[in-house]
Amino acid sequence: MPHEALRDFVLPNKGQGGRNLPEGELHPPRMTLTARFREALLYAATLHAAQVRKGSQSPYLAHLLGTAAIVLEHGADEDEAIAALLHDAVEDQGGAATGQQIRRRFGSRVAEIVDGCTDADTRPKPPWRERKETYLANLLTADASVHLVSAADKLYNAHSIVADYRLLGESLWERFTGRKSGTLWYYREVATVLGRVWPGPLVDELARTVEELERLVLATEAS
C-alpha cells in the first residue's frame, strides 16, 4: 500500500477477548488509523531495518505487520495497534533507551503495553528460562491491552513455527534458544495463562495452533 494511501486508512473494529459489544449492537464502530500509526509504522521499519526472522532471510517487519494485523482484526484501538508494531523494539533494538523514546513519541499507554510484552530490556539478557518464567508471571496481572498484543504476537509465531516444522522437521528447533522442549513448553504455557486470564476467540486460536504443533511433533517422534 503506498504511503499516501494510509492517510485515510479505516478498519472495522471487531472487538476481542473480554470486550463485549454494547447490547443490541452486532458490530462496533469503525476505527480510523491516524498519523500516529503511520509514524509508528515508519519508526518500526527503521528500528528493525537490518533484522531478519530467526532462521530465515525474511525481514523482521513481516512479523510486526502480521502482529499488528491480528490485533486490528480483533478490535484493537490505535494505541494497541501501535504497540503491536513496536512490541519487540525494546527487547531487540536498544533496550530501555528505546522504551523511553517510545514513551516520548507515542505516549505512556503505548510504552506500557510494549513494556508488558518485553521479557528483557538489558544486555546481556537474563537466562532464557528465567526470562520466559518472568514473562508468564507478568501476564497473570497484565491488562487486556497487553494480553491482546501478546496473544497476537504468539499466534503469529505459532503459525510460523507450524509451517516451518512441516518443511524442516526436527532441524527447526536448532534456531530456538529453548530448543524443542523449551519452545513447546513456553507456547503451551502462554496459551494456558492467557486462556485463564483473558479467554476469547484469539486465545482459542492460539491454543488450537499450539495443539496442532504438538500433534505434528508427536507424529514425527512416533514415525
Residue 173 DSSP label: G
Task: Give per-residue pLDDT as tens, 87-117.
Answer: 999 999 999 999 999 999 999 999 999 999 9
Of the chain, the percentage scoring pLDDT greater than 90 comes to 80
Which triple of cell numbers denotes residue 114? Answer: 510494549
Please tell me the predicted confidence (pLDDT) of residue 17: 52
pLDDT for 45? 97
Confidence of residue 8 (pLDDT cuts 50, 70, 90): very low
Catalytic residue among 92, 133, 189, 204: 92
| Active-site annotation holder among 79, 91, 112, 205 | 91
Domains defined along the chain, listed by start:
3-222 (1.10.3210.10)
Contacts of 186 by beta carbon, 8 Å cutoff, 6+ apart: 132, 136, 178
Q: What is the pLDDT of residue 4?
A: 41
The per-residue pLDDT for range 44-66, each reduced to its tens digit, is 999 999 999 887 889 999 999 99
Average pLDDT of the segment spanning 169-192: 97
Q: Which of 26-30, 93-97, 198-202 is least confident?
A: 26-30
145-161 pLDDT, tens digit per residue, is 999 999 999 999 999 99
Please tell me the pTM assigned to this model: 0.88
- pLDDT score of 56: 83
Q: Is 80 a catalytic residue?
A: no
Report residue 34: phi and psi, to 5°: -105, -170
Contacts of 142 (CB under 8 A, 6+ apart): 116, 150, 197
Least confident of 7-11, 62-66, 116-120, 214-218: 7-11
For 9, phi and psi rounded to 5 degrees?
A: -75, 115
The question of whether 79 is a catalytic residue gets the answer no
* H helix intervals, 33-127: 35-47, 61-73, 78-86, 89-92, 96-106, 108-116
